[in-house]
Copies of this chain bind each other. A is one copy, B any other.
Amino acid sequence: MISVAEARERIVAELRPTPGEVVHLAAAWGRVTAAPITARLTQPPRDVSAMDGYAVRSGDAVAHAVLNVVGSAPAGHPWAGRIGAGESLRIFTGSVMPEGADGVLLQEDATVTGNQVTVGEAVGPGQFVRRAGQDFRAGDVLITAGKRLNARDIGLAAAANHPWLTLHRRPRVAILATGDEIALPGEPIPPGGIVSSNAHALGALVHAAGGEPVVLPVVPDDRATIGVAAEAATGMDLLVTTGGASVGDHDLVQQALVERGLKVDFWKIAMRPGKPLIHGRLGSVPLIGLPGNPVSAMVCGILFLLPAIQRLTGLPGLPPPVATAVLDTPLPANDGRADHLRARLTTRADGTLVVTPYERQDSAMLRLLSEADALVLRDPYAPALPAGALVTMIRLDTIGL
């Protein structure tokens, strides 16, 4: 059995980001750049006013000076003339500074009388002027390749005059749930069977991570059928199976896929929940075989599938972010398997984040998993901890998972 960290590294090391595609700016939020975004223009394009007021020659605009207003230049309507001695130009935020002027008299510091303004407060050179290129210059790299675009980045790319961006294609992730006992929601349930929850929970995880889930039809525990179904994943960026990764008589996924040419980099991971996990490659398609148990599948999804998909989208594929909290109840020493305790978070009046692992950690408890705010991480052979100890956790409530 290998460690959680080694398993993740082996999965991520084998994956390459998807190639770039052209995406219009309005669809780019949350996607990852496949090429740097450079400025196509200089911003501001010329010296502009930072305020509403009057463009002046700073030498003229001493306190109590009276200046002629020779015109007006709304933003988008530059004034073609030149400001001479004793002159000023009505100007607004974003208006191009006219030739000759080098400062802006704020409108609240100006007294207007007919076509003249009286200066209330002297204007220094460059005052309230935004210099051409103050924000960026044509050719500047504004956003590097491999960045997930947030709303501010979208604004910056727009300002840099990009209607189209080159972004990594959303990875297509095929999800194949297996088992005689499972049915899709709303469909007839076989005797003793249950409703399949893994495919759509993992589909949501794929979506959250920036991929495109392709949920394949559920297949029964039949070797030939599983093999045929898996071939539907040809051309996908990743194939995820659930169920059949363990060693029981009816765990057929591995056998079925090996017959179809699966190259297994198989392992069991020293972890709980979710020891059995297949990693390999079916033809050119990387494969992650998750346990069939829904809690194990989701925990393994968070630990392994999330970084894998992030890597495919062009990000580094790092482990889920961790945080710390104060333990509310004592914890016993751990055995040799890394544990991931479902837990609730509360905040004390003084702001301290407190974490309470559920007493029941049964891996079939989907409801508790859904209610949990965090997974408390327990290393193999971690010593017992008293209440009040600091523990490390993955906050599920902040990552949409």
Copies in the complex: 2
In the bound complex, do residue A160 and residue B77 qualify as a contact, i.e. CB atoms below 8 Å apart? Answer: no
Stretch at the interface among A61-69, A119-127, A180-188, A262-270: A180-188
A191-202 interface mask toward B, CB cutoff 8 Å, 1 = contact, 0 = none?
111111111111
A77 contacts across to B, CB distance below 8 A: 180-181, 192
Q: How far apart are A158's CB and chain B's nearest CB, in angstroms? A: 4
In the bound complex, do residue B367 and residue A142 qualify as a contact, i.e. CB atoms below 8 Å apart? Answer: yes
A303 contacts across to B, CB distance below 8 A: none
In the bound complex, do residue A366 and residue B135 qualify as a contact, i.e. CB atoms below 8 Å apart? Answer: yes
A401 contacts across to B, CB distance below 8 A: 150-152
| Cβ of A203 under 8 Å from chain B | yes
Q: Which listed residue (B94, B160, B202) contacts A181, Cβ 8 A?
A: B94
Chain A interface residue count: which class? 35 or more
In the bound complex, do residue A152 and residue B50 qualify as a contact, i.e. CB atoms below 8 Å apart? Answer: no
CA distance A339 to B272 in the complex (A): 47
Q: A155-B369, A158-B195 are in contact. List 13 more A-B contacts (CB 8 A).
A: A29-B204, A43-B194, A44-B364, A74-B249, A75-B250, A76-B182, A76-B190, A95-B192, A143-B370, A151-B401, A156-B197, A159-B366, A160-B195
Return 14 A-B CB contacts under 8 Å, by A number.
Answer: A29-B204, A45-B193, A52-B246, A74-B180, A75-B181, A76-B191, A93-B292, A134-B364, A150-B400, A152-B366, A152-B372, A152-B396, A160-B195, A164-B186
Residue of B nearest to A301 (CB): B151
CA distance A388 to B370 in the complex (A): 39
| Cβ of A215 under 8 Å from chain B | yes
A234-256 interface mask toward B, CB cutoff 8 Å, 1 = contact, 0 = none?
00000000000011111000000
In the bound complex, do residue A76 and residue B193 qualify as a contact, i.e. CB atoms below 8 Å apart? Answer: yes
| Cβ of A153 under 8 Å from chain B | yes
A221 contacts across to B, CB distance below 8 A: 74, 76
A353-393 interface mask toward B, CB cutoff 8 Å, 1 = contact, 0 = none?
00000000010111101101000000000000000000000
CA distance A205 to B184 in the complex (A): 34
Known: A135-B366, A185-B25. A155 touches B93 (CB 8 A): no
| Cβ of A103 under 8 Å from chain B | no
| Cβ of A294 under 8 Å from chain B | yes
Residue of B nearest to A369 (CB): B152
Q: How far apart are A214's CB and chain B's nearest CB, in angstroms? A: 11
Q: How far apart are A92's CB and chain B's nearest CB, in angstroms? A: 5
| Cβ of A223 under 8 Å from chain B | no
A67-105 interface mask toward B, CB cutoff 8 Å, 1 = contact, 0 = none?
000001011111000000000001011111000000000
In the bound complex, do residue A156 and residue B44 qualify as a contact, i.e. CB atoms below 8 Å apart? Answer: no
CA distance A77 to B364 in the complex (A): 19
Q: Which listed residue (B161, B207, B213) contacts A195, Cβ 8 A?
A: B161
Q: How far apart are A24's CB and chain B's nearest CB, in angstroms? A: 10
